[in-house]
């Protein structure tokens, strides 16, 4: 029998206990799912950074730490982590992100706010909505989430450019990489969506110089991580009109302090890190399948490259 330790916020235990037990059984695994165990007896840890386990050193026989989060910046530098670490790639999390990104892209593209907020009795019937084909969109990060969002937006007719560390080839998306690729990806983009991981290399990717490359009046949508954006640079670009509006889901400090200028800025929409989340039903299947792979002597899926930081 294998022991699977669940280390996440206590509220999640109710969501996962039955679903994960069923998923482990469905993979044919004889498993004990528990929230407490002698560390030396733990074979697998289902892990969230805000759970009780922070020191992984005693887990000397653990074969895999299976993260419940897509982002790993809070665990990747943990010096007690010597076990392989897999991050969460959950089809429902991806679907949620596609819906959130598509919704906010369409909102800015169609200027829905003008009508939602502009119910003033004046009949302005000369301004028709633009077409997606005339609105270049750039997605920074072409991984699980960036690729899915890019394909959805391309399907709606937007000309989509994606940028990643290694060169990609994705149908319907103009794929760019490297420093030169970043300049080309941002130049004249009208909507920029950030879906990069938080690493030392990605910090301030969208700084004042990068923002200056965008088409005047561009929109910024950040469901990635707060440090991807130089906040002072974005606020200046909003004030100058270089950026028309920003929708921000993630911040350097979370919860975003009540006196942060983003809350009060008329061109900024703050959402409280809700763009998407791991869903217990699908994630339980992902966790069980990954454990089954390791039990069968295969390499786990979605392993984190700790040197790259994601």
Among residues 13, 29, 32, 71, the one that binds ligand NAP under rule CB under 6 A: 71
Contacts of residue 194, Cβ cutoff 8 Å, sequence gap at least 6: 140, 141, 205, 206, 220, 221, 222, 223, 224, 225, 228, 229
Rule CB under 6 A: choose which of 7, 164, 190, 284 binds ligand NAP: 164
Q: Which of 250, 268, 280, 291 binds ligand NAP (CB under 6 A)?
A: 250
Chain residue at closest Cβ approach to ligand NAP: 143
CB of 252 to ligand NAP, least distance (A): 13
**Given 35, 273, 279, 302, the catalytic residue:** 273
Residue 32 or 107: the one with the smaller Cβ distance to ligand NAP is: 107
Please select the residue that binds ligand NAP; options are 107, 265, 273, 306, rule is CB under 6 A: 273
Strand partners, 174: 161
Task: Using the rule CB under 6 A, give the single segment among 1-9, 58-66, 207-215, 218-226 that binds ligand NAP.
Answer: 218-226
Per CB under 6 A, does 201 bind ligand NAP?
yes
The residue among 221, 219, 274, 276 whose CA lies nearest residue 247 is 221
Going by DSSP bridges, is the β-strand pair 218-222/243-248 parallel, antiparallel, or unpaired?
parallel
Of the candidate residues 51, 141, 159, 233, the single one contacting ligand NAP (CB under 6 A) = 141
| Pair 177, 139: CB distance under 8 Å | no
DSSP notation for 178-244: HHHHHHHHHTT-SEEEE-----TTTTTSB-HHHHHHSPTTEEEEE-S-GGGB-HHHHHHHHHHTSEE
Based on the residue annotation, tell me whether 225 is a catalytic residue of this protein.
yes
Q: Between 80 and 109, how does the x/- string for binding to ligand NAP read (CB under 6 A)? A: -------------x----------------
Cβ 5 vs Cβ 34: under 8 Å: yes
Residue with tokens 């509006």: 245
Residues at the site binding ligand NAP, with contacts judged by CB under 6 A: 70-71, 93, 141-146, 164-166, 195-199, 201-202, 223-225, 249-250, 273, 275-276, 310
Catalytic positions are 225, 273
């Amino acid at each position: 029998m294998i022991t699977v330790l669940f280390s996440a916020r206590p509220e999640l235990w109710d969501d996962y206990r039955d679903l994960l037990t069923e998923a482990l059984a469905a993979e044919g695994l004889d498993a004990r799912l528990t929230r407490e165990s002698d560390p030396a007896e733990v074979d697998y840890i289902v892990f969230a950074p805000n759970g009780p386990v922070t020191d992984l050193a005693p887990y000397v026989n653990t074969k895999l730490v299976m993260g419940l989060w897509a982002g790993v910046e809070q665990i990747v530098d943990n010096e007690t982590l010597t076990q392989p670490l897999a991050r969460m790639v959950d089809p429902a999390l991806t679907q949620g992100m596609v819906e959130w990104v598509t919704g906010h892209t369409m909102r800015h593209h169609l200027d829905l706010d003008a009508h939602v907020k502009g119910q003033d009795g004046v009949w302005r019937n000369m301004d028709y909505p633009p077409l997606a084909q005339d609105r270049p969109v750039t997605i920074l990060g072409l991984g699980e989430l960036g690729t899915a969002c890019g394909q959805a937006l391309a399907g709606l007719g937007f000309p989509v450019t994606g940028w990643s560390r290694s060169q990609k080839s994705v149908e319907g998306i103009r794929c760019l990489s490297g420093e030169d690729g970043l300049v080309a990806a941002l130049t004249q983009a009208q909507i920029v969506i950030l879906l990069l991981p938080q690493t030392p290399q990605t910090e301030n990717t969208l700084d004042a110089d990068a923002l200056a490359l965008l088409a005047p009046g561009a929109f910024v949508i950040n469901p990635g991580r707060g440090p991807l954006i130089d906040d002072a640079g974005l606020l200046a670009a909003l004030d100058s009109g270089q950026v028309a509006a920003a929708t921000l889901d993630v911040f350097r400090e979370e919860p975003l302090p009540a006196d942060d200028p983003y809350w009060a800025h008329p061109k900024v929409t703050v959402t409280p890190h809700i763009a998407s989340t791991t869903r217990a039903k699908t994630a339980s299947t992902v966790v069980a399948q990954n454990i089954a792979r390791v039990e069968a002597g295969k390499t786990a899926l979605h392993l984190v490259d700790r040197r790259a930081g994601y």
